[in-house]
Structure 1
Amino acid sequence: MDYSIIIYFIAIFIQITVTFEYNDDYDVEQQVASQSFVPISEPIDHLSSSIFDSLSQSNLSLASFLFTDHTINLDGLGISNIEPNTFVNYRVPVTTIILASNFLSYLPNNIFQPFSSTLINLNLQHNQFRSLFNNYFLRHLEQLRTLDLSKNQLHELHKQDFTDLRRLETLILRENKLTCIPYAIFSRCRTITTLDLSDNQISIMDPNAFRSLYRLKTLLLSNNPLGQRLLTHQLMEPIKNLEYLDLENTQLNDLSPFLFISNQHLLSIKLRRNNFQTKVNDSSHSLQRTFCRADSLIEIDLVSTHLRSLDVCTYDQVPSLQRLYLMNNPLHCTCDLFYLKYGDIYRVLLTDGNGVDRVHTDIDTYLDRWISRPELRRHLEKAHARGDFYRLPIELSLFARCATPKQWLGREIGNITGIFTQCQQRWSHIEQECQNYCQLDKQIEASMTTIKNTSLRSIQSSSFFVELYFVVLAFRLCI
């Protein structure tokens, strides 16, 4: 009996069966997809309970279900007004509501009452809200985690706007018309970890604007006319857990010394598209000692900031600093700049691991060969672990190029070799100059003490009023 023929027919049968099953599944999916989206041909200017009920029954795209994530999606329907009882008949425990790209400027006070215990995400971006004052639709949303109010017309903020948002983690206010951030404006929602204020017109900011935001990790302030006078020690002091700060295009010319001394979790600062212009051989550098004592800082973005030279000790004394982004700057390449990457590398490679100097007839050739080898990183990490130097070499970003002097014109600063002979003497002086560079002087210490005392008095004052509140409450209950 020829089994090959039998096997051949079995294979054909399996292929036909699978094809039919695939086509059946595809037809079912297409049918569900066609039923799940009913295009809305005309804008819904006025949304009522009856209209919403009919939409939710006929248009499955309004309610997307993914495991326990229940979403009402009313994006881009041309809605100008919503009646207070619009969602009263909707019994699903909704976690996300999307009302983006409509024409809303006001919402009824209890509009989200049916979802007060379940609503986690509320997207109101690209509407026409000018203010949230006397607009209490956010009240009692105690489970809300994310609130997106970007691309509206908000021109003011009030503490009362965020009352009862006790679990709010992400607040997005990007692309509004805000000009001022008042005192402790976010103190009613102390759990915020991400705050986006970018692309506004903020030129006034109270020194205590971020008071109570102890959990804040990401702060976005880009594209605002801040100026350096707004960025003070007092402003930065409360946000002790900050990890990422975006100050791109904020009209900065300089920043204060030791500005981030209170931010011991700060990992990354974005300063691109500001104007930190410096002159060659000018001792008064921009950003002088700005990053001193920011001991957790890993990267600083200085792209397109008109920098010609750096205050080398400021960056050298940040032990965790790994990357400096310097692209699109007219850099004057000197031994000071090269020291940040090459100084420690050369010192390590010229010793045998026991601190004894090696003798080479052509030191630059030996070192240039090592610079491009992948084993170098492991060698440096071992030397760092032994304590041969206190930080790993700083990467000076690809594509950052020298503008002067002529010998290095157009060369990438991360790939320049053969500089040990001409820089060796200067590097030894830099090491001595930078040794105590980030020690606090009396003026800075006095300023920090004042800030701490002010903060302490503020906390004590808050505690006093809380205690007074409970005393009055107890008295009323007794009466």
Structure 2
Amino acid sequence: MDYSNVIYFLIIFIHITITLEYNDDYDVEQQLASQSFIPISEPIHHLSSSIFDSLSQSNLSLTSFLFTDQTINLDSLGISNIEPNTFINYRIPVTTIILASNYLSYLPNNVFQPFSSTLINLNLQRNHFRSLLNNYFLRRLEQLRTLDLSKNQLYELHKQDFTDLRRLETLILRENKLTYLPYAIFSRCRTITTLDLSDNELSIIDSNAFRSLYRLKILLLSNNPLGQRLLTNQLMEPLKNLEYLDLENTELNNLSPFLFISNQHLRSIKLRRNNFQTIINDSYHSLQRTFCHAHSLIEIDLVSTHLRSLDICTYDQIPSLRRLYLMNNPLHCSCDLFYLKYGDIYRVLLTDGNGIDRVHTDIDTYLDRWISRPELRRHLEKAYTRGDFYRLPIELSLFARCATPKQWSGREIGNITGIFTQCQQRWSNIEQECQNYCQLDKKLQISMTTIKHTSSGSIHFNLFVVRLYFILLTFFLYI
């Protein structure tokens, strides 16, 4: 008997069976997909348990499964009121609730109680909340990680608004009407790592507003009328783990010296669209010593800040600095500005141990050929590894152009060569001039010590109050 034909027909039969089953499954999926979105023609002004139950059963778009994530999506349904027991019959664990783009200004206290142990993300953006003072719907949501209240009408915040949010990591309050941040306002949610307060009207911030935010990594304050007087060492001191700070368009024209001395993990700061205008040939510079002792800082964004010149020593004394964004500024291209990009390059080439022996007049010609080539970058990285200089040259960003002097007007900073001859004397003095530039003076040391003592004193006082409370409680119970 020839078994080859039998095996062949068996393979054909199996292939046809699988194809038919696949087509049947595909048809079912297509039917479900076509039924998964049923447009709701009229707004649901008042959401009750009966309405929600019928919606969740008939409209698959309201309850979507994404892997192990269960989402209730009530976006843009015209909801203005929700009854306390709306979700009482919904037995599936829910991790995300979306109530964005509705007309909510109040939520019942226990509306999310069925999901108190599972809810991780709550999206309430684009509603009509003005205050959370008498709203207790956030209570007992101990698993909540992300709370989005952006694009509401919040004009005030209170400590009790965030009670019991012990695991909250991301708090988004952007595009509200906030004008004031009170004392230790976020002390009830100390686990926050991202705080977005951008696009508000903040003009008053208590100097201890950020107390207890030791885990905060990202702070967004852009598009607020802050002014530099609000940004003090005391305000920034608790933010020990801050990595990114956005101060774009916050009406700054200066920042105080050593402002980020307590933020030893700060890597990036955005200052664009402020006004740090400087006067050429004047001893005063904006941002003088502002970044001193910010030893982890990698990039500073100064785009569109009206800068004419930089306080050279402030930036020279940041060993970690790699990128300085200077586009759209009327820059005066002086030897000080060029030093940040080229100073260390020239120094390494002049003291190079690999046999490069050139007279000073030939250095310009050499660099004209090599300044933009990868070989030079690799050469500098090797010199940096050997310890020939304490930081790699700072990238002054593409498209940053000189406004003055006339000979370089309109040219990109990163593409100017032939400057060593006229700058070598100035550059030889800069290293010595900047050597002790970021040394703390006695006045600032006293100020920093006072801030630390004040913070620790407050902690000790709070512990004292707690201990006194328990002593009195024990005494009265004993009586």
TM-score when normalising by structure 1: 0.94
**Alignment map for 1:18-417 (pairs within 5 Å):** 24-353=24-353, 358-359=358-359, 362-417=362-417
CA distance in 2, matches of 1:338, 1:286: 18
CA distance in 2, matches of 1:204, 1:84: 36
**Post-superposition shift, 1:21?**
6.6
CA distance in 2, matches of 1:475, 1:66: 55
What are the superposed Cα offsets for residues 169-202 of structure 1, whole Å, 9 maximum, x if unpaired? 1000000000000000000000000000000000
What are the superposed Cα offsets for residues 303-360 of structure 1, whole Å, 9 maximum, x if unpaired? 0000000001100000100000000000000110000010001111222328996446
**Post-superposition shift, 1:470?**
3.3
Contact 2:247 2:270 in 1 (8 A): yes
Contact 1:351 1:358 in 2 (8 A): no
**The residue matched to 2:71 in structure 1 has which SS?**
strand
Point out where structure 2 has 5 or more consecutive residues left out of the alignment: 1-8
Aligned residue-pair number: 475
**CA 1:75–1:357 in structure 2 vs 1: closer, same or farther (change >3 Å)?**
same
What are the superposed Cα offsets for residues 194-223 of structure 1, whole Å, 9 maximum, x if unpaired? 000000000000000000100000000000
**Post-superposition shift, 1:29?**
2.5
**Post-superposition shift, 1:134?**
1.5
Give me the identity figure in percent.
86
Contact 1:349 1:367 in 2 (8 A): no
Is 2:444 aligned against 1:439? no
CA distance in 2, matches of 1:179, 1:206: 11
State the partner residue of 1:418: 418
Which residue type is aligned with residue 214 of structure 1?
Answer: Y
**Post-superposition shift, 1:281?**
1.3
Contact 2:130 2:154 in 1 (8 A): yes
Contact 1:93 1:115 in 2 (8 A): yes
Contact 1:228 1:254 in 2 (8 A): yes
Contact 1:253 1:274 in 2 (8 A): yes
Which residue type is aligned with residue 157 of structure 1?
Answer: L
Which residue type is aligned with residue 409 of structure 2?
Answer: L
Contact 1:179 1:204 in 2 (8 A): yes
What are the superposed Cα offsets for residues 120-139 of structure 1, whole Å, 9 maximum, x if unpaired? 11100000000000211001
CA distance in 2, matches of 1:21, 1:398: 58
**The residue matched to 1:362 in structure 2 has which SS?**
helix
Contact 1:352 1:358 in 2 (8 A): no
Contact 1:194 1:217 in 2 (8 A): yes
Contact 2:228 2:254 in 1 (8 A): yes
**Post-superposition shift, 1:473?**
4.5
Contact 2:327 2:400 in 1 (8 A): yes
Superposition CA RMSD, Å: 2.3
CA distance in 1, matches of 2:100, 2:321: 40
Contact 2:125 2:148 in 1 (8 A): yes
**Post-superposition shift, 1:469?**
3.4
State the partner residue of 2:6: none
What are the superposed Cα offsets for residues 6-54 of structure 1, whole Å, 9 maximum, x if unpaired? xxx9999999989867654543322111121111111000000000000
Contact 1:155 1:178 in 2 (8 A): yes
**The residue matched to 2:51 in structure 1 has which SS?**
helix
**The residue matched to 2:256 in structure 1 has which SS?**
coil
What are the superposed Cα offsets for residues 372-411 of structure 1, whole Å, 9 maximum, x if unpaired? 2201222111111211111110000001100111111110
Which residue type is aligned with residue 179 of structure 1?
Answer: T
Contact 1:345 1:380 in 2 (8 A): yes
Contact 2:402 2:408 in 1 (8 A): yes
CA distance in 2, matches of 1:476, 1:186: 33
**Post-superposition shift, 1:467?**
2.2
Point out where structure 1 has 5 or more consecutive residues left out of the alignment: 1-8
Contact 2:293 2:438 in 1 (8 A): yes
What are the superposed Cα offsets for residues 96-131 of structure 1, whole Å, 9 maximum, x if unpaired? 111000000000001111111111111000000000
Which runs of at least 4 in structure 1 moved beyond 3 Å after TM superposition? 9-26, 354-361, 469-479
State the partner residue of 1:3: none
Contact 1:186 1:213 in 2 (8 A): yes
What are the superposed Cα offsets for residues 48-86 of structure 1, whole Å, 9 maximum, x if unpaired? 000000011111111111222111110110000000000
Which residue type is aligned with residue 330 of structure 1?
Answer: P
Contact 1:180 1:205 in 2 (8 A): yes
CA distance in 2, matches of 1:263, 1:340: 23
**The residue matched to 2:191 in structure 1 has which SS?**
coil
Which residue type is aligned with residue 300 of structure 1?
Answer: I
CA distance in 1, matches of 2:364, 2:423: 11
**CA 1:21–1:46 in structure 2 vs 1: closer, same or farther (change >3 Å)?**
same
Contact 1:145 1:167 in 2 (8 A): yes
Q: Bigger CA drift: 319-328 or 61-70?
A: 61-70
Contact 1:260 1:294 in 2 (8 A): yes
TM-score when normalising by structure 2: 0.94
CA distance in 2, matches of 1:45, 1:286: 54
Contact 1:72 1:98 in 2 (8 A): yes
Contact 2:300 2:325 in 1 (8 A): yes
Contact 2:220 2:245 in 1 (8 A): yes
**The residue matched to 2:430 in structure 1 has which SS?**
helix
